[in-house]
Each structure stands twice: as structure tokens, then as C-alpha cells.
Homo-oligomer: A and B are copies of this chain.
């Protein structure tokens, strides 16, 4: 049993810190996150954070990279059925709402740093290639370039995650099924 739950388990502590930090950064962003809250939430201690991750920024990088790894392959692309692909992406955003928030904080607070996450670049490149091949086979229209088409699909998938409260106020509540349908149908319309 010693392997299952050692009283002092570095890997488990690291994991708890990462999970707590994910919630904190998703909620408050980099500038708004509090290192003390993360340590408390993880039932650990600030010094551990600096031991494992070096700095607050280093912790965010680790959180973001971790999230990317979990996300990148979670929803494999299906170039032959982009509407359904968008629907599944939408589902994944509903299921894991912090993903979109982290990505948005990243874009706002890390813009211009020039640093990119290689795993995301690589996976995006692969998806563009897949779309380009489908275009060559006549499965997809060529009115948009492969990169443009992929970008539009990804953007539309996040339609319901990126609205200001004022819009929700006016639009009123929509059922989960209807929201998904809007995403699927709008992508389908793009491909006409």
C-alpha cells in the first residue's frame, strides 16, 4: 500500500496545486489570481508552489500547458463532417468551461510576449492539413482557405461561451440542445 498513498507524495501534491491553480486562474486571471488562495485550496503551501513552479507566471504556464495537453486531442477533427466536429467542440466547452476562460486570459494577459505553446501550434497545423486534404478531395468548398475555414469553425464552436451578459439578457434562455444545434447548423451553412 505504500505506493498507493504515501503520506508525502510529491506528484500528488504537484497535481493538487495544478488543479487548484487551474480553477483560480480561470476565475481571476493571472493578475487577479492569489497565490495564497491556490495554496490553501490545494491543502498545501506557498513555498511548494515556488519550489515546483518557480513563480506565479511559471505556475500559469504549467496550468496552461497542462490544459492544452488535455484538450488538444480530446476532440479529434473530422474534416468530412465539420458541423458535427463543431458540435463536439461546443459540447467540450460546455463540459469544461474553464478551458475557454483560460484561453481568453492567456490571449489578453500574455499577448505580445511572443511565446507560443508548441503543442497547440503543432495540433493546429495538423488540423489545417486535414482540412486542406479534404478540400483537395472535393469534400469541402474552397471559397475559404483551409486555415480560414478551420478558424471559422473553431470560432463558431465558441459562440455560446463568449457572449457578454447583455446579450444573454436580450436573447433570453435557450435550451442546451438548441444551442448545440445553432452551432452545428451555422457551420453547415458555411460549407454550402
Interface set of A (CB-CB < 8 Å, partner B): 28-32, 101, 103-109, 111, 114, 116-117, 120-121, 124-125, 128, 143-144, 147-148, 151-152, 154-156, 159, 162-167, 169-172, 174, 182, 185-186, 189-192
Q: How far is the CA of A125 from the CA of B144 in the complex (A)?
A: 32
- Nearest residue (CB) in B for A30 is B32
Chain B residues closer than 8 Å to A109, beta-carbon distance: 29, 32
Give, as a whole number of angstroms, the nearest-CB distance from A30 to chain B: 8
Beta-carbon contact of A124 and B29 below 8 Å:
no
A108 in complex: contacting residue of B101, B116, B120, B154, CB < 8 Å: B101
What residues of B have a CB within 8 angstroms of the CB of A156 in the complex?
A: 152, 155-156
Q: How far is the CB of A87 from chain B (nearest CB, A)?
A: 15
How many monomers of this protein are in the complex? 2
A162 neighbours in B (Cβ, 8 Å): 107, 155, 162
Cβ–Cβ < 8 Å partners of A32 in chain B:
29-32, 109
Query: In the complex, given contacts A124-B166, A186-B190, A189-B190, what are 5 additional A-B residue pairs having Cβ atoms less than 8 angstroms apart?
Result: A104-B104, A104-B108, A107-B165, A148-B174, A152-B182
Contact A155 B166 (CB under 8 A): no
Tell me if B151 and A117 are in contact (CB < 8 A). Answer: no
Interchain CB contact under 8 A, B171 and A151: yes
* Cross-chain contact of A192 among B154, B159, B192 (Cβ < 8 A): B192
Residue from the list B105, B124, B170 in contact with A170, Cβ < 8 A: B124
CB-CB under 8 A for A147 and B172, given A152-B186, A190-B190 = yes
